[in-house]
Amino acid sequence: MIKVEDTPELCSFRDDLRQITGAAEPQPPHISLLYGVNETGRRPGWSSDESILKSIAEKCGRQLDQHEYVLDRPVIAASDGAWTNMKSWRVVRTL
């Protein structure tokens, strides 16, 4: 997980989104890197293998040599399962 700076603009966006949807207070902003889905939109077999996920995370850590990234083209996605057991993603809107 990569923590994201909770800038005033992001904080305002998250508050507005929470009010619009009636959702509870969201978790701190972050980017989850290992939400893997295969070509059918389902979780691949390795996605629940702790040793494989740990290996992927370690490799990513070695390859990341910058400390700041600017991300663009975000999407809003919905899960077809509970947030604790996501089976696939559906893109609701591309920004």
Give per-residue pLDDT as tens, 53-72: 888 878 877 777 666 666 77
Question: Which has more pLDDT, 31 or 7?
Answer: 7
Q: Is it the case that residue 41 has pLDDT exceeding 80?
A: no
Mean per-residue pLDDT, 45-54: 80
pTM for this structure? 0.43
Do 31 and 2 contact (CB within 8 A), yes or no?
A: yes
Q: Using the structure block, give the residue that is written with the tokens 């603009």.
A: 9
Run of H or E including 36: none
The whole-angstrom separation of Cα 36 and Cα 78 is 14
Longest CA pairwise span in the chain (Å) = 40
Which amino acid type is present at position 43? R
Residue 16's pLDDT is 86
